[in-house]
Amino acid sequence: MRILSILVALVTSFGLAASALATPYVAPPDGQIVLVHLKLSDGKFGASGESFRLYDVEEALEAAVSGKGELDGHEIGGGYFTIYIYGPDTAAILKAIGPALKNPLVRKGSYLVVGPEQDPAKRRKLSLPLAGS
């Protein structure tokens, strides 16, 4: 009987934890997004090992935005390695990530998309390298 009680407690605890993990992210109404589109060598997923080298750029961006925003991962496809950064102030994020984007792995044709997370129509495209960084 004791084992059954422990199992019920574990299942209940896990069920609560699983439901907490399943809670969808809801952006704050004033949240901003910076999408970093790093051009790959082809129109699909890049050359063998190319995306692994771009993890160095991603790690540098994550360190740069610390305290100013949050890097929330990446997607690979369509010829780009796209990194997602969220925060309250795009100007502060852009200033912070500018030096990290001077990495030689950032190819010509890479660009940023910045603006309100909740309103894609108000976002703007910025070419790399960024002016003044």
**Beta bridge mates, 116:** 32
Predicted local distance difference test score (pLDDT) of residue 133? 58
Collect the ranges in the chain with pLDDT lower than 70: 1-29, 131-133
Which pair of structure tokens corresponds to residue 77?
């496809």
CA distance linking residue 36 with residue 2, whole number of Å: 54
Predicted local distance difference test score (pLDDT) of residue 117? 93
Query: What is the reported pTM?
Result: 0.76
The dotted CATH code for 27-127 is 3.30.70.1230
Instruction: Give the model confidence (pLDDT) of 9-35 as tens digits.
Output: 544 444 444 444 444 445 555 799 999
Predicted local distance difference test score (pLDDT) of residue 129? 84
